[in-house]
Chain A
C-alpha cells in the first residue's frame, strides 16, 4: 500500500470514529431526517378535514335544516355552532371557534320553492390563508354536493370563471383579508416565529458562554444567587425583544400595509409573556448544556420546529393528528400566532384570547422557575 493510500485511509478511519463518537452527528444524520419526515408527513396537511364551520340561519325553515345536513354530511366540515345572526358568526370567527360560516338569507326557502336562485353566503376567515384557500378550493365540491354552484360574491376580488347557471349559489366572502394577500396571514406567524428563534438563541448563548469561559465559577464564589443571575440575564434580552416586536410591526405596517385592528395593550402583554417564555427556554437550555455550540443547536432546533410546524403558522393546528395536536398545546408560538392574527387582522379582544394568554403565562412561569431551580442544583 502506498504511503498516500495509507494516509488517506488513516484520515478516513479517524473521521468515522469521530462521527460515531459524536452523538450530535448521529442525530443529524439519522435521527433528525426520520423525525422530520414523520412530523411533516403526519403534521402537514393542507386538505380540508374536520374544519369547524358555523351556521347562521336567517330564514329559520325546515328547508334550511335540510340544506345544512346536506352540506355537512361529508364530515369534511364540522358544525361549530348555530348562530341566530351574523354578528354571532363574526364573533366565532374572531375567537377562532370557526374558520368559516354559512349564512342562509331570510326568505331563502320561499325563493327556492318559487324557483328563484338562492344565494348562500360563505364567510371565510382570511387571516389564515391556508385554511381560506382550502375552503375556497372545496367550495365548489360542497356546492356540487348540495346541487348548488359556487362563485365569489359580486364585488369581491375573485371573479368566477365559467360558472354554470345555477338554481342556487354559494357566494364566498373572504373576511379580514379581502385581497387574499399572503403577507397578511403570514406576517403574524412570521413575527412569532422570528421572535421565538431570536430569543431562544440570545439566551442560550448567555449562560453557556459563562460556563465555557470559566467566569461562572468566579460568580459562584461571590454572594450573588442563582435566581438573581437568571433574572439579571433575562431582563436586557426582554427589553431587546420588545424593541424587536415594535420593529417588526412597524416594518409590517409600512412595507406590507399590515393592519392593526385590535388592542395594542393586548399585543404588548402577550408579547411580553411570549418573550419571557422563549427567553426562559433559552436560559434553561443554556444552564443544562454548558457548551455554546450545543446550546445553539438545541436552541435553534427547539425553537424552529415547534414554531414552524406546530403553531398554526403554515397550516391549521386543528388539522394535526391527535398526538401532535396535544403537543401543540405546550408550544407557546401556537397561542401567540392565533393571538396575533386575531389582534392584528380580526380586531379581536381580551375576551377572545383569554385562553391564549393563560397558555403564554403558564409557559413563561414554567421556564423561569425551571431555570432558577436547575441553576441552583448546578452550583454544586
Chain B
C-alpha cells in the first residue's frame, strides 16, 4: 500500500522555483532516503509533505489525506524530527515528551501510556528525569524521535537526524529506524551522510528543485556510475593522474583527498590496473571498491554550482 503519493508538487517563492514538478510514491513500511545539496529543494518538499507549507500547485496524498486541502489531518499522522535538535534543553526528558505529546493532542492517561511505550521503543529507560540539555547527542536524538512517535503516526520524517552524532549511537539509531519500519511505519529520511543513505530501501536525489534520480542504492550506482571503480593509494598517487587519464580503458580519474578513484569499464580487472601503475612512483596500494552514493551524487549533480 502506498502511504505517500506525491503528484507534480510545485512550490515557488516569488519568481524562484524551489520545487519543480516532483512526483514519487512511497510504500508503507519503506525507508525512503532524500538526498540533495542545500537549496536543492529537499527541505521545501518535506515541509509540503508534512503539511507545514502549502504547495503552489500539485498535491500529495499522505496517509490518505491531501496536503493542499487537509494539512491539519496530515500533520496529525506525521511525526517530524527536525534538524536542529529542537527539544527544550532546560526541561527533563519526561517534560519534553509531555509537552510534545500535548502539542500533538495526546493527553492524560493516554499520554502516560504512550510515553511508557515510546520510552521502551527508543530505549530511554531510566532517563526520564534527566535534563535534556545534559544528555549526549545520540541520546537526545532518541528523545526527539520518541517525541515524534507519541501520537503513533504511520509516517515519520527525519531531517538530518544523525548530524553530529557519534558512530555508535548512529548505528543504534538506524537499528531503531529499521525496527520501526519493519513494524509498518513509513520512514522518510534526509541526510548528508551519504553512507547512511545506503541503509535506505530507495533513494531520491534532488537537484535544483527537480527529482532527477530515484532507485535503490545499488540501482543508482549501476545507472550513474557504471563499470568498475578502483582506489589508488600512496604518497605520490597524484602524479599518476595524467598517465591514467591517457588510457582509453579509463573513463575517469577523480582525486579523492590524497587518494585517487579510477573508473573503468566492466572488463578491466585489478591486476590490469596495477600493471599500469609504476610502483616506484610512490603508489602503495590499489584495490577495487564499490561506487558509493557520493560518487552517484557527484555524477548526478555534476560539477554543479559552488
User: Direct A–B touching in the complex (beta carbon < 8 Å)?
Assistant: yes
> Chain A interface (Cβ within 8 Å of chain B)?
213-215, 217-224, 379-380
Answer whether residue B2 sits at the interface, using C-beta atoms and an 8 A cutoff.
no
List the interface of chain B (C-beta within 8 A of A): 50, 52-54, 72, 75-76, 78, 80, 82-88, 100, 103-105
A215 touches B86 (CB 8 A): yes
Q: A222-B75, A223-B103 are in contact. Are A217 and B82 (CB under 8 A)?
A: yes
How far is A224 from B101 in the complex, measured between Cα atoms in Å?
11
Closest chain A CB from B281 CB (angstroms): 42
Cβ contact within 8 Å between B78 and A221: yes
B84 touching A214, Cβ below 8 Å: yes
* 16 interchain pairs, CB-CB under 8 A: A213-B86, A214-B83, A215-B86, A215-B88, A217-B82, A217-B84, A217-B86, A218-B100, A219-B103, A220-B52, A221-B82, A222-B103, A223-B75, A223-B105, A224-B103, A379-B52
* Bound CA span A218–B83, Å: 9
- Say how far A336's CB is from chain B's closest CB, in angstroms: 33
**Residue ID in chain A nearest B159 by CB atoms:** A217
Q: Which residues of A contact B50 (CB under 8 A)?
A: 221
Distance A221 CA – B105 CA, assembled complex (angstroms):
13
With known contacts A214-B82, A215-B86, A218-B86, A223–B54 Cβ distance under 8 A: no
Cα distance A222–B82 in the bound complex, in angstroms: 12
Which of A218, A221, A380 lies at the interface centre, i.e. has the most chain B CB atoms within 10 A of its CB? A221
Interface pair B80/A221, CB less than 8 Å apart: yes
Asked whether B54 lies within 8 Å of A218 as measured between CB atoms, the reply is: no
Measured between beta carbons, the chain A residues less than 8 angstroms from B82 are: 214, 217-218, 221
Tell me the dominant secondary structure on chain A's binding face.
helix
The docked-state distance in angstroms from the alpha carbon of A199 to that of B130 is 32
* Nearest CB on B from A370, distance (A): 23
Does A223 lie within 8 Å of B86, measured CB to CB? Answer: no
* Docked pose: A214 CA to B85 CA in angstroms: 8
Chain A CB within 10 Å, residue with most, of B53, B82, B84: B82
Q: Which of B75, B84, B87, B88 contacts A221 (CB 8 A)?
A: B75
| Residues from chain A with Cβ under 8 Å of B85 in the complex | 214
Chain A residues with CB under 8 A of B80 = 218, 221
Q: Is the CB of A223 within 8 A of B84?
A: no
Chain B residues contacting A215 (CB-CB under 8 Å) are 84, 86-88
Instruction: Identify 20 new A-B residue pairs, CB closer than 8 A, beyond the known A214-B84, A221-B82.
Output: A213-B84, A213-B86, A214-B82, A214-B83, A214-B85, A214-B86, A215-B87, A217-B84, A218-B80, A218-B100, A219-B103, A221-B52, A221-B75, A221-B80, A222-B100, A222-B104, A223-B72, A223-B75, A223-B105, A380-B54
Can you name the residue of chain A whose Cβ is closest to the Cβ of B72? A223
Cα separation A224 to B99 with both chains bound (whole Å): 11
Alpha-carbon separation in the docked complex, A215 to B99 (Å): 12
With a cutoff of 8 Å between Cβ atoms, the chain B residues found around residue A223 in the complex are: 72, 75-76, 103-105
A215, A219, A220, A223 — which one has the most chain B CB atoms within 10 A of its CB? A223
**Distance (whole angstroms) from the CB of A377 to the closest CB of chain B:** 13
Q: List residues of chain B with CB within 8 A of the CB of A217.
A: 82, 84, 86
Assembled-state Cα–Cα distance A214/B50 (Å)? 17
Closest 5 CB pairs of A and B: A214-B84, A218-B86, A221-B80, A215-B86, A222-B103
CA distance A222 to B53 in the complex (A): 12
Q: Please, how many angstroms separate the alpha-carbon atoms of A224 and B88 in the complex? A: 17
Q: Contacts of B100 on A, CB cut-off 8 Å? A: 218, 222
Most chain A beta-carbon neighbours within 10 Å: one of B50, B54, B86: B86
Q: Which residues of B contact A380 (CB under 8 A)?
A: 53-54
Residues of A within 8 A of B105 (CB): 223
